[in-house]
Structure 1
Amino acid sequence: MEDLFVRKINDEDFYFIKKDSCAFNIKEFLKNQLEEMLKNFSWPKSMRWGTRKERWVRPIKNILCILDGEVIPISFAGITASNVTYGHRLLSQNQVFTVDTPKDYFNLLEKNNVILQQDKRKKFILDQIKDFSKKHNLQLEQNDYLLNELTGLIECPIVLFGKVNQEKSAELPKEVILSIVHTQQKYLALSDGQKILYFATVVNVKNDNVIKGHEKILEARLADAQFLISQDKKHNLDYYVNKLDSISFHGYLGSVQEKVKRIIALSKYIAIWIPHASLIKVERAAYLAKADLATSI
Structure 2
Amino acid sequence: MSNKYLLEIGVEEMPARFVKNTLEQMKNYTTKLLKNERIEFQEIKLNSTPRRLVLLIDGLAENQEDLKEVVKGPSKKIAFDKDGNPTKALEGFVRGQGASLDDVFLQEHNGEEYVYVNKVKEGKLVEDILKENMANMIKSISFPKSMKWGGKNLRFARPIRWILSMLNDKVVEFDLEGIVASNITRGHRFLGSSHIEIGNVDEYISKLKENYVIVDANTRKEKIKYGCEKLAREKGGNILQDEGLLDEITNIVEYPTPIIGRIKEEYLELPKEVVITPMKEHQRYFPVIDDKKRLLPYFITVRNGNEDHIDMVIKGNEKVIGARLEDAKFFFNEDKKEPLENCVESLKDIVFQEKLGTLYDKTIRIQKLAVKIGNYLEVGEETAKNIERAGYLSKADLVTKMVDEFTELQGVMGREYAKISGENEITSLAIYEQYLPRYAGDELPTTTAGAVLSIADKLDTIAGCFAIGIQPTGSQDPYGLRRQALGIINIILDKKLNLSLGELIDFALYIYVEENGLAFDYNQVKGDILEFFNGRIKNMFIDMGFRYDIVDAILATGIDDVFDMKLRADKLNTWLNKEELNDILQAFNRVKTLADKSETNEVKRDLLVEKEEIRLYETFNIVEEKVIASLNKKEYDRALDYMISLKEPIDSFFDNVMVMVEDEKIKHNRLGLVRKISDTMLMICDLSKIVNK
After TM superposition, is the score higher than 0.5? Answer: yes
**CA–CA distance in 2 between the matches of 1:89 and 1:261?**
54
The residue matched to 1:162 in structure 2 has which SS? Answer: strand
Q: Which residue of 2 aligns with 1:173?
A: 271
Give the structure, 1 or 2, with the largest relative contact order (CA under 8 Å, sep 6 or more). Answer: 1
The residue matched to 1:61 in structure 2 has which SS? Answer: strand
Q: Which residue of 1 aligns with 2:344?
A: 241
**CA–CA distance in 1 between the matches of 2:248 and 2:123?**
47
Q: Which residue of 2 aligns with 1:136?
A: 235
Q: Which residue of 2 aligns with 1:194?
A: 294
Q: Which residue of 1 aligns with 2:182?
A: 82
Q: Which residue of 2 aligns with 1:151?
A: 250
Q: Deviations over 1:140-172 (max 9, x none)?
A: 1122222222111111111121101112x0331
* Equivalent position amino acid for 1:184 in 2: H
1:182 positional shift = 1.0
* Equivalent position amino acid for 1:153 in 2: I
1:131 positional shift = 1.2
**Residue pair 2:184, 2:195 contacting (<8 A) in 1 also:** no
The residue matched to 1:226 in structure 2 has which SS? Answer: helix
| Unaligned runs of at least 5 residues, structure 2 | 1-58, 67-119, 403-693
1:130 positional shift = 1.5
* Equivalent position amino acid for 1:226 in 2: K
**Residue pair 1:141, 1:188 contacting (<8 A) in 2 also:** yes
Q: Which residue of 1 aligns with 2:684?
A: none
The residue matched to 2:259 in structure 1 has which SS? Answer: strand
**CA–CA distance in 2 between the matches of 1:246 and 1:147?**
39
**Residue pair 1:86, 1:94 contacting (<8 A) in 2 also:** yes
Select 1:162's aligned residue among 261, 266, 271.
261
* Equivalent position amino acid for 1:114 in 2: V
Q: Which residue of 2 aligns with 1:274?
A: 378
Q: With structure 2 as the length reference, what TM-score do the two structures score?
A: 0.39
**CA–CA distance in 2 between the matches of 1:260 and 1:154?**
43
Q: With structure 1 as the length reference, what TM-score do the two structures score?
A: 0.87
**CA–CA distance in 2 between the matches of 1:183 and 1:271?**
35
The residue matched to 1:219 in structure 2 has which SS? Answer: helix
- RMSD over aligned CA atoms reads 2.1
The residue matched to 2:190 in structure 1 has which SS? Answer: coil
Whichever of the two has the greater Rg, that structure is 2
C-alpha change, 1:240 and 1:85, in structure 2 (3 Å) is same
**CA–CA distance in 2 between the matches of 1:240 and 1:134?**
43
1:251 positional shift = 0.8
Select 1:224's aligned residue among 319, 327, 334.
327
**Residue pair 1:85, 1:99 contacting (<8 A) in 2 also:** no
Select 1:296's aligned residue among 385, 401, 409.
401
* Equivalent position amino acid for 1:177 in 2: V
| Unaligned runs of at least 5 residues, structure 1 | 1-11
**Residue pair 1:177, 1:196 contacting (<8 A) in 2 also:** no
C-alpha change, 1:228 and 1:89, in structure 2 (3 Å) is closer
**CA–CA distance in 2 between the matches of 1:133 and 1:217?**
20
C-alpha change, 1:196 and 1:248, in structure 2 (3 Å) is farther
Of all paired residues, the percent bearing the same amino acid is 35
Q: Does 1:45 align with 2:148?
A: no
**Residue pair 2:268, 2:275 contacting (<8 A) in 1 also:** no
**CA–CA distance in 1 between the matches of 2:379 and 2:173?**
74
C-alpha change, 1:221 and 1:277, in structure 2 (3 Å) is same
**CA–CA distance in 1 between the matches of 2:235 and 2:353?**
49
The residue matched to 1:43 in structure 2 has which SS? Answer: coil
Q: Deviations over 1:82-136 (max 9, x none)?
A: 12323223223335132312x3222222232211111111111111111112222
Select 1:283's aligned residue among 369, 388, 396.
388
**CA–CA distance in 1 between the matches of 2:177 and 2:286?**
37
Select 2:208's aligned residue among 106, 109, 124.
109
Q: Which residue of 2 aligns with 1:91?
A: 191
The residue matched to 1:90 in structure 2 has which SS? Answer: coil
C-alpha change, 1:280 and 1:86, in structure 2 (3 Å) is closer
Q: Which residue of 2 aligns with 1:211?
A: 314
Q: Does 1:64 align with 2:64?
A: no
Number of aligned pairs? 280
Q: Which structure has the highest helix share of the two?
A: 2
